[in-house]
Amino acid sequence: MKSAEKISSDGNNQEPDVEKMVCGIMNGNRQMLARAITLVESQNPKHEKKAHEILDRCLEKKTSSIRIGITGSPGVGKSTFIEALGLEIINSGHRLAVLAIDPSSMQSKGSILGDKARMEKLATKKEAYIRPSASSGYLGGTSPKTHETILLCEAAGYDVIIVETVGVGQSEILVDSMTDFTLLLMLPGSGDELQGIKRGIMEIADAIAVTKTDGEQSVLAAISKAECDAALRMLPSKYPFWKREVFLTSAITATGIREVWQNINEFFAVMQKKELLRKKREQQLKNLFSAIVEDMLKKKFYLDQEVGSSLPITEQLVVTGKISPFSGASSLINIFRHPDTLR
Side chain identity, residue 85: L
> Binding string, 95-134, against a second copy, x = CB under 8 A?
-------xxxxxxx-xx--x--------------------
Burial of 43 (0-12, 13-18, 19+ CB in 10 A): exposed
By the rule CB under 8 A, 199 interacts with a second copy? yes
CA 66 to chain centre: 14
Cβ 254 to a second copy, closest distance in Å? 24
Considering only residues 280-319, where is the footprint of a second copy by CB under 8 A?
A: 282, 285-286, 288-290, 292-294, 296-298, 300-301, 315, 318-319
Residue pair 277/285 in contact by the 8 Å Cβ criterion: no
Q: 116: which residues sit within 8 A by CB, 6+ positions away?
A: 123, 130, 132
Whether the Cβ atoms of residue 192 and residue 98 lie closer than 8 Å to each other: no
Q: Which is nearer to a second copy, 122 or 335 (CB)?
A: 335
Residue 19 sits in the site that holds a second copy (CB under 8 A):
no
Q: Applying CB under 8 A, does 38 fall inside the site for a second copy? A: no
Contact 178, 284 (CB under 8 A): yes
How far apart are CB 167 and a second copy at their closest, in Å? Answer: 4
237 contributes a contact to a second copy by CB under 8 A: no
Question: Would you say 44 or 92 has its CB closer to a second copy?
Answer: 44
Segment near a second copy (CB under 8 A), from 18-26, 34-42, 196-204, 255-263? 196-204
Among 239, 266, 273, 325, binds a second copy (CB under 8 A): 325
Q: Give the H or E element holding residue 276.
A: helix 276-303
Question: Do the strands 181-186 and 207-210 form a parallel or antiparallel pair, or are they unpaired?
Answer: parallel
Binding-site member from 17, 19, 60, 266 for a second copy (CB under 8 A): 60
- The separation between CA 109 and the C-alpha centre of its own chain, rounded to angstroms, equals 16
Using CB under 8 A, which residues numbered 137 to 176 contact a second copy? Answer: 137, 139-142, 166-171, 173-174
CA distance 169 to 195: 13
Q: How far is the CB of 189 from a second copy (least distance, A)?
A: 12
